[in-house]
Chains A and B, each alone.
Chain A
Amino acid sequence: QQQVKQSPQSLIVQKGGISIINCAYENTAFDYFPWYQQFPGKGPALLIAIRPDVSEKKEGRFTISFNKSAKQFSLHIMDSQPGDSATYFCAASKGTSGSRLTFGEGTQLTVNP
């Protein structure tokens, strides 16, 4: 049962461009929405996270936009750099941020120089 759907599966962006990855969830009990970045041969690393009491959170070049009524959230990477090339996963959980995570299928981002 896929409770978090992520798109696109892959994304190619030019250096300096904006990368946008979208996720939709089904379970309205979810109240913690993190994004993870994973490089080949490494485990996922927390990038940024949001709770549904705010509609947007920004940390440096990374922004999460959250639409509670649509049950959707997205990651925007501004001024994308080749070093941002990685696989990005959205996730969701209910309760504390240490609760079990339900992950999306992942988006492979390539930033061309």
Chain B
Amino acid sequence: DAGVTQSPTHLIKTRGQQVTLRCSPKSGHDTVSWYQQALGQGPQFIFQYYEEEERQRGNFPDRFSGHQFPNYSSELNVNALLLGDSALYLCASSLWTNGYTFGSGTRLTVV
């Protein structure tokens, strides 16, 4: 049973660059949410996609953008990377009335 799949698992980028992270939801799930987890902290909600539209957004700048494809997979894009963007980025999928299933995340390091 394939859960939530995220790629890549690790990534190192230089400040100012752009990055794209990818997520394949659990089979049967139609909603994808993205969270940022800084070291030693709880995950922070970035945004949620449903039916290819951004449905909810957390307190993140416009440098953070996303997309959901017809097969429910999703991408998270971050432009003009800052050192403070270094974190574990978690993708979670769900059906609207059911709880989340989280992926193992992408560890992004900005140098």
Give the secondary structure class of B's interface: loop
Chain A interface, >50% SS class: loop
In the docked arrangement, what's the CA distance between A42 and B33, Å? 16
Say yes or no: is B64 at the interface (Cβ < 8 Å to chain A).
Answer: no
Footprint of A on B, CB under 8 Å?
A: 4, 31, 33, 35, 40-45, 48, 56, 58, 90, 92, 94-105
Binding site for B on A (CB under 8 A): 4, 6, 34, 36, 41-46, 49, 89, 91, 96-106
- Closest chain-A Cβ to B41's Cβ sits at a distance in Å of 6
**A residues within 8 A CB of B96?**
96, 98
With contact pairs A41-B104, A46-B100 given, residues A98 and B95 touching in the complex (Cβ less than 8 Å): yes
* Contact B42 A103, beta carbon cutoff 8 Å: yes
